[in-house]
Amino acid sequence: MVFNLDTVLGELKRARPIFRRESDFQQEFARVVRLLNGNARVRLETPLPQESDLSRLDVLVEDGPTVIAVELKYKTRALSCQAGDELFSLKAQGAQDHGRHDFIKDIARIERFVDANPGAIGYAIFLTNDPLYWQQGLRATNDSAFRLHHGRLLKGTATWGPAAGAGSTAGREVPLALRGEYALDWRDYSDVDGNARSQFRYLAVKVHEHGAAT
């Protein structure tokens, strides 16, 4: 199998420029992978025995010796629009600090997966119509270490700022350590009906086994 993420996302956005929720995104991503890679075994919500918190991998793709782990995030701001013959009403999810933190946690989880499965690769993918994720903030905040803005080199250990409140840190207290370095490159995904709120962009981070060539 030759897995090409650009091909998968190209086919996906032709069929689905917008999704109702994250689970919709996951299911449609898996469907397109199956469509393009007919011999592949594609599974959703696969348990990860190396994790201590009983977490599950969003999408696992296996074809012979090829193993690909995928984590998907879908965060939205308020949007009502029509795509084809479907009407969509997306909620303003907010809590961008949690969204940023959880995406970096996905990357760290994939790093552990590929290091535990020699030859595997992984992708963490973030799709959103909320520009607060891809734009660089103008001032320091308590979640500055988790920023995902375009052009950032993400590396090292991310922790909350000293003034972060319990509402931000509850359940997310453990620092997130990355062993790799990732240049963050947001790309256009779709523009559903031509207004700013309907413009979706995605960030894809590719993770290799420790020591493997990138």
**Per-position DSSP letters for 44-94, written without gaps between them:** EEEE-TT-TT--EEEEEEEETTEEEEEEEEEE---EEEEETTEEEEE----
In a domain, 214, yes or no: no
Q: Would you say 197 and 77 are in contact if contact means Cβ atoms under 8 Å apart?
A: yes
In a domain, 183, yes or no: yes
pLDDT at 207: 95
Q: Which residue has the tokens 């309907």?
A: 198
In a domain, 151, yes or no: yes
pLDDT at 142: 85
**Measured distance CA(168)–CA(162) in Å, rounded:** 12
**Measured distance CA(40)–CA(110) in Å, rounded:** 20
In a domain, 21, yes or no: yes
Q: Which two tokens stand for residue 170?
A: 């509850």
Q: Does residue 179 carry a pLDDT above 70? A: yes
Q: pLDDT tens digits for 9-55?
A: 999 999 999 999 999 999 999 999 999 988 889 999 988 877 767 78
Instruction: State the average pLDDT over residues 52-60.
Output: 84
In a domain, 213, yes or no: no
Q: What is the pTM for the complete model shown?
A: 0.91
Closest CA to 41 of 55, 21, 61: 61
Count of structural domains, the chain: 1
**Measured distance CA(77)–CA(68) in Å, rounded:** 30
Q: Does residue 214 carry a pLDDT above 60? A: no
pLDDT at 213: 47
Cβ neighbors of 62 (< 8 A, separation 6 or more) are 40, 41, 42, 43, 68
**Measured distance CA(108)–CA(213) in Å, rounded:** 18
In a domain, 111, yes or no: yes
Q: Which domain holds residue 110?
A: 5-208
In a domain, 77, yes or no: yes
Q: What residue type is assigned to position 163 of the chain?
A: A
- φ/ψ of 111, rounded to 5, equals -55, -45
Q: pLDDT tens digits for 106-142?
A: 999 999 999 988 889 999 999 999 999 999 877 778 8
SS (H, E, C) 183-209: ECCEEEEEECCCCHHHEEEEEEEEEEC
- φ/ψ of 172, rounded to 5, equals -135, 35
